[in-house]
Amino acid sequence: MIEDDFYATIKFKSGEEIFCRVAPSEEEDRTFLILSNPVIVSEIKGRNGVIGYKVEPWLKTSTEDMLIVNMQDVLTMSESSDVEMIMTHQSYVRQTDGSRENEYKLNRKMGYLGNVNDTKEILEKIFKSS
């Protein structure tokens, strides 16, 4: 990983709050943050209070695990030493790394690709012949 990185909760000016591993980077007169596997953590509440936490990726449509953000977009950042939160994040990272290896690309050999009208005609023929 990157030197001088740490776990942190980041609150953006947009109102979003994420948890991730962070490494600051200075370039010319600007500071950037390199975020590793940023996640959103939501509380799951039941009748008796908080039951657990839901961890999901910050960016749902990206498969990148490292992102760069401008420090000017950050409202506040707090370094985390919460062992439970860090372990939860590490567990999430391990699970998502394994799931990417098992993903399949769709191709025509996986099954018949057709349109609704053709399928409807075929099903009607089967129904009428039985």
For the chain, which domains are there? Answer: 6-103 (2.30.30.100)
Mean pLDDT across 19-46? 90
Q: Which residues of 93-115 are buried (b: 16+ CB within 10 A; e: fewer)?
A: beeeeeeeeeeeeeeeeeeeeee
Q: How far is the CA of 58 from the CAs of 46, 62, 70, 95, in angstroms?
A: 24, 9, 16, 16
On whether the CB atoms of residues 23 and 52 are closer than 8 A, the answer is no
Separation of alpha carbons 6 and 117, rounded Å: 56
For the segment 2-22, what is each residue's pLDDT rounded down to a tens digit? 458 899 999 999 999 999 999
Would you state the pLDDT for residue 80? 93
For the segment 54-86, what is each residue's pLDDT rounded down to a tens digit? 899 999 888 888 999 999 999 999 999 989 889
User: Which is higher by pLDDT, 50 or 64?
Assistant: 64
Name the pLDDT band for 1 (thresholds 50, 70, 90): very low
pLDDT at 107 over 80: no
> What's the pTM?
0.68
On whether the CB atoms of residues 38 and 25 are closer than 8 A, the answer is no
CB count in 10 Å sphere of residue 50: 9
